[in-house]
Amino acid sequence: MGQKLEDIAKTLRDTNKKVQLIYAFNGSGKTRLSRAFKDLVAPKPEDDAGEPPRQKILYYNAFTEDLFYWDNDLEGDAEPKLIIQRNSFTDWVLKDQGQDQNIITNFQHYANDKLTPHFTEDFAEVTFSLERGTDERLGNLKISKGEESNFIWSIFYTLLEQVVSVLNVPEADNRDTNQFDQLEYVFIDDPVSSLDENHLIELAVNLAGLIISAPPSLKFVITTHSPLFYNVLFNELNGKTCYLLERFEDGSFALTAKNGDSNQSFSYHLFLKNTLEQAISDNQIQKYHFTLLRNLYEKTASFLGYPKWSELLPDDKQTYLNRIIQFTSHSTLSNEAVSEPTPQEKQTVKFLLDHLRDNYGYWQQEEQND
């Protein structure tokens, strides 16, 4: 029998885990669950005298992106502006916390270090320009949907970085601000719309690192429809509880705990294998495929009982290939390496995938079942 979202929100609240990771298909109620959870943890005060919900919970969802919209200057077609609807959240981040420069830095890291946001003095509008490296500037630009998504996420992520930094000071009296002292939860709903795989993997790794560094008192609930984003978080985070959120035809919902390897829940190992095979076939191998390859080796080693995934590598080249995969798949700074690998690196991906498929009975059995 299905449940109401309010009941599922109570289950999440009453589960004493630092991280709860939820996979759900689009249209399954993720965003509505985030609102139900917010209303449960921090009900809206009947009057303006009460504490705002952000004192207890920070949440990122589709409604966060709805706070931003474009004024395209249809008559002049010259000065597109990203308008920030007046709201307490962005006022708090930009005006009260003064995080505009950190937001710019995070955005340029994920997007382009030459693409620069410019806030108006009252933080009501944002314009974008492309710096040429000299005094020349190309602007005002209407950025892509993916860049816009990056920018909005950068606002939330910048605040989250500050929150974790402040709360990691043990004594409340020694903190720069006491505005976060009552914060209990961070609910993040699908911060991956319009992101390419490179940025998606990097975002997941960086978010996981921030969550790991956060104090135990701060709990996280993360929902996503992206198997890749889910899987990276699954492997980066320890001590999490994982669920599958489903919506039934009668409008009720189910939250099912998923124990063990994420492969057993989503057959993700097959997705990884097929993705790599397609990239090799199309000669479209990118740097992030090394991350997928490492992930596939990890999962195969776990299934077969090997303590280290590197033990599956060819014996005569184990150390060398391990270094290549580790270096390439753990590069988190976008400017450390170009996305296009060398021909030799492309051959390494093919060689290692063939080696895994041809030398381990687990994959030979999968080939027979296909």
Mean pLDDT for 80-89 is 84
- On whether both 136 and 224 belong to a single domain, the answer is yes
pLDDT tens digits, residue range 51-60? 666 789 998 9
Alpha-carbon distance of 59 to 49, in angstroms, equals 21
Q: So what's the pLDDT on residue 220?
A: 97
Under the banding of pLDDT at 50, 70 and 90, the label for residue 263 is very low
- On whether both 84 and 228 belong to a single domain, the answer is yes
- On whether both 114 and 254 belong to a single domain, the answer is yes
- On whether both 260 and 274 belong to a single domain, the answer is no
The parent domain of residue 350 ranges over 269-369
Mean pLDDT for 175-189 is 91
Q: Which residue has the higher pLDDT, 185 or 318?
A: 185
For the chain, what percent of residues have pLDDT higher than 70? 78
pLDDT at 363 over 60: no
- On whether both 250 and 182 belong to a single domain, the answer is yes
- On whether both 102 and 188 belong to a single domain, the answer is yes
How many domains would you assign to the chain?
2
pLDDT at 33 over 80: yes
- On whether both 21 and 110 belong to a single domain, the answer is yes
Mean pLDDT for 204-215 is 94
Under the banding of pLDDT at 50, 70 and 90, the label for residue 357 is confident
- On whether both 30 and 60 belong to a single domain, the answer is yes
Q: Which of 34-48, 153-167, 337-351 has the lowest mean pLDDT?
A: 337-351
Bond into 72 cis (ω within 30): no
Q: So what's the pLDDT on residue 328?
A: 59
pLDDT at 333 over 50: no
Among 217, 246, 265, identify where a domain stops: 265
Residue 221 corresponds to which tokens in the numbers above? 């609930």
Q: So what's the pLDDT on residue 13?
A: 95
Mean pLDDT for 266-293 is 80
Under the banding of pLDDT at 50, 70 and 90, the label for residue 255 is very high
- On whether both 167 and 191 belong to a single domain, the answer is yes
pLDDT tens digits, residue range 111-158? 888 899 999 999 999 999 988 766 666 777 888 888 888 898 999 999
- On whether both 259 and 276 belong to a single domain, the answer is no
- On whether both 122 and 161 belong to a single domain, the answer is yes
Q: Which residue has the higher pLDDT, 305 or 338?
A: 305
Under the banding of pLDDT at 50, 70 and 90, the label for residue 38 is very high
- On whether both 246 and 104 belong to a single domain, the answer is yes
Predicted model pTM? 0.69
Q: So what's the pLDDT on residue 336?
A: 43
For the chain, what percent of residues have pLDDT higher than 90? 30
Mean pLDDT for 167-191 is 91
Q: So what's the pLDDT on residue 47?
A: 57
Q: Which residue has the higher pLDDT, 304 or 225?
A: 225
Provide the CATH number for the domain around residue 77. 3.40.50.300
Among 220, 240, 265, identify where a domain stops: 265
Among 245, 265, 285, identify where a domain stops: 265
Q: What is the mean pLDDT of the chain?
A: 81
Q: So what's the pLDDT on residue 110?
A: 78
Q: Which of 29-43, 99-113, 131-145, 248-262 has the lowest mean pLDDT?
A: 131-145
